Amino acid sequence: MKLITNIKAWIFACLLLAQIPLFAQTDPPGDVTTNSITIPTAEQRIKEFDKQIDKKHKELKELVQLYERANSAQKASLKKQIEKKLNILFDLNLKKREMEINLLEMQFRQIKGELDNRKRSKEQIVSKKLRELLE
């Protein structure tokens, strides 16, 4: 969680320093959308991507070991299977990264909303704190 907090602070600082418009109103590429998911759901999906990626890495490693022991007739077929696994792994990693970005964007919007609420409630917050300190 500390890593996510540090990343959020870094992104916030970069956006402020660069004065980049925050988030364009476009859907992220692929089937990774944030329209109907929550922060916990996004975190869960990232974990699921990690599991899938680990599984595909193991399968890839097994195929490479088979390739190294195979005769020349088998190598062509194994090479195609390895390429297919690499493409799947690439796509999974892309989707995971998109979900990580979406998660950070949702967290950023949540923090921004909390900050905006505090700005609007400044007078009440200061008055309450003043009463607490002087009682």
pTM > 0.75: no
pLDDT at 27: 37
pLDDT at 36: 75
Longest C-alpha distance within the chain, in Å? Answer: 87
pLDDT confidence band for 1 (50 / 70 / 90): low
Rounded to whole angstroms, what are the CA distances from 108 to 5, 7, 43, 63, 98?
10, 10, 15, 41, 15
Instruction: Report how far residue 125's alpha carbon sits from residue 82's, in angstroms, rounded to the nearest whole number.
Output: 60
CA–CA separation, 5 and 103 (whole Å): 12
